[in-house]
Amino acid sequence: MEIQSKQNNGKLIVLFILLIILCQNNLTAQQRDISYVPKPWLARVWVPEIPNDCPFKRSNDFSAIAFLGNHVSYTDADTWYPSWAIDGNMYSGFADGEIGLESTHSSGGVKANTGNAKIEGDDPMHLKISSLGLQYASALPYQGRYPCANLVYNGIWYYGTYGIDFDPNPDNKKYSWAICGPLPGFRISKDYGKTWIPCPYTLDNPLFPESGKNGNFVKMGTPHFVDFGQNLENSPDGYAYLVGHGGANDDPYPRVANNSWIAGDAVYMARVKPSPETINSLDSYEFFAGNDKNGNPVWSHNILDIKPVMEWMHHMGCTNITYDKPLHKYLMCVTDGWPGIENMNSYILESDNVTGPYKLITYMKDFGSQGYFMTIPSKFIARDGKTFWLSYSANFSQDYFGDITKANPVGSRYAWNLQQVQMVDNKQEQALLMKMKTGEPDPIKSDKNIGLRANVVVSSALRDARPMTELHQYFGEGAVDGVVDPESKNKLNEWVSDGETNTAFIRLNWKEPQKISKIWLFDRPDLKNQITSGMLVFSDGSTINVSALPNNGNVTKEITFPEKKATWLAFIIKSVSKTTTNVGLAEIAVFK
């Protein structure tokens, strides 16, 4: 992948040089150096768009989620459900992608494998993620086998998987993994992933006696452990709770892919006191069987007695629950991703009890815009209980993958994504909405900067200074992330070339023509690396020669010109200072 990207970038350099030589059409432009003072991101409220048939009452305490702007993405893989272990680290499975050069493929049938990862650090923006290797386990009689229920308790790692299938009808191409299979059981590690005891069951003989074959549907689909904090410290009774999603017996209008990895009708629950002896013993589990006449939960050892914790026909899907200790509340994240390859909707609910009733905080239509596997890691809940980090992956299917313009909110991509958010009440929501209209945001963090939603290509990227990805589409994202750090503490907020000086370039692309009249260019804050001249090239062949950029992050080069339309623009470095070894940009902002 890396070799191919360098070859492609080399071809692009040649094309750009030819373009400059053959098609120079200099624009009249004004240039000046202006001071820049960074400002925090303006909080952005995601206004709920709640479907009319939503059966859940609204929360009395919260009305929406505000995104605070801080975000980060790690790896090129999805299916992250971190568990906070007693050693202070988090551990998670991962699937269908890479951590560095180690790759997992969970759709391999008999050769399906899943990854194991260790997550170190307390600051979500600066985590260290290491692969602990892959484990192979056959997906047969299904086609895929993916991570789900993940728990590290008293130093023992319990790792669950589930099976999935494509719809057998070859004409149903608009569905992704339309059939959800069962949880076969758990593999176990007593040394934090160094060695494993294999799962004693298979997908055709699973721990929970369910099947997605022959028109059947599962109820404990893609189950996940409720996050009770570090080492289950906040479990009310010593149990580990599992929450899954599945079909409903009373569905009057069954549809294709209704019980898939990401869609369903209802949420179900089970619990177990975890140990190596109980985790794979069906007799050790209790299943939620409804409430008694006083509203108290009833539990049964018979899975046939299982009843929904909550139900919303054709609107439920992958579900995770986290206990918010400061608020003494349970927060439930649900993604309704039907049909599986289009935009997805996610919503968050709250309850005083793990079994509910749950009340709706927000419904985020088109979150991601194809966001999924949403959860709230308890390790990253702030002391106020209202501020935390959403964990999710996004934009995996062909029409979304690698396309930054699809990111909603900014920073969403195929990876492990973390977004800092805050729950707000109605009064706070209205105040923030007013501030969004009347406030004065940092220009490079505002919607007016269309660079934030551009696809980026760079001539090269220094490995130590690029995002945690092997996908060249993201190598230059540090130059369009809305962040300029004058002290250059974090090179991930820059584009740093790999040993290039002149002829290095960065190109921004949009799918539709954009109106452009102003560009800000920030040189890298590293005083040893300075661009002394460059050229802007636009998709219509016009060019602007650019003089030396200010050699620090407190001043930007502003280039203004008569409004023009372009589907792409490139900045090509023509000359640099004598001390330059890795030319690049701290940021390129493009304004209408």
At residue 168, the pLDDT reads 81
CA distance 537 to 142: 51
Q: Are 135 and 272 within one domain?
A: yes
The CATH number of the domain holding residue 471 is 2.60.120.260
Domain boundary among 432, 458, 474: 432
Q: Are 543 and 408 within one domain?
A: no
Q: Which domain holds residue 515?
A: 2-39+442-591
Structurally, how many domains does the chain consist of? 2
Q: Are 428 and 455 within one domain?
A: no
Q: Are 35 and 48 within one domain?
A: no
385 within a domain of the structure (yes/no):
yes
461 within a domain of the structure (yes/no):
yes
pTM of the model: 0.94
Q: Are 480 and 352 within one domain?
A: no
69 within a domain of the structure (yes/no):
yes
Q: Are 112 and 257 within one domain?
A: yes
437 within a domain of the structure (yes/no):
no
Average pLDDT along the chain: 93
466 within a domain of the structure (yes/no):
yes
pLDDT band at 303 (very low <50, low <70, confident <90, very high): very high
448 within a domain of the structure (yes/no):
yes
Q: Are 243 and 378 within one domain?
A: yes
- Nearest alpha carbon to residue 123 among 418, 475, 479: 418
- Flag the least confident range among 1-10, 68-77, 552-561: 1-10
At residue 449, the pLDDT reads 97
For residue 242, what are the β-bridge partners? Answer: 225, 270
How far, CA to CA in Å, does 580 sit from each of 158, 497, 501, 525, 573? 50, 11, 7, 12, 12
pLDDT band at 4 (very low <50, low <70, confident <90, very high): very low
In tens, the pLDDT along 66-114 reads: 999 999 999 999 999 999 999 999 999 999 999 988 899 999 899 999 9
pLDDT at residue 216 above 60?
A: yes
Domain boundary among 401, 432, 463: 432
CA distance 344 to 167: 19
Q: Are 210 and 316 within one domain?
A: yes
At residue 24, the pLDDT reads 63
Q: What is the mean pLDDT of residues 319-331?
A: 98
pLDDT band at 20 (very low <50, low <70, confident <90, very high): low
CA distance 357 to 124: 31
pLDDT band at 542 (very low <50, low <70, confident <90, very high): very high
Token pair in block for residue 232: 């289950």
Q: Are 8 and 63 within one domain?
A: no
Token match 């269309």: residue? 450
Q: What is the mean pLDDT of residues 439-443?
A: 91
Domain boundary among 397, 432, 467: 432
The CATH number of the domain holding residue 310 is 2.115.10.20
CA distance 480 to 494: 8
Q: Are 34 and 50 within one domain?
A: no
- Measured in degrees and rounded to the nearest 5, phi and psi for residue 479 equal -90, -5
Token pair in block for residue 13: 């350099």
556 within a domain of the structure (yes/no):
yes
Token pair in block for residue 210: 């369910």
Q: Are 299 and 366 within one domain?
A: yes
Q: Are 33 and 62 within one domain?
A: no
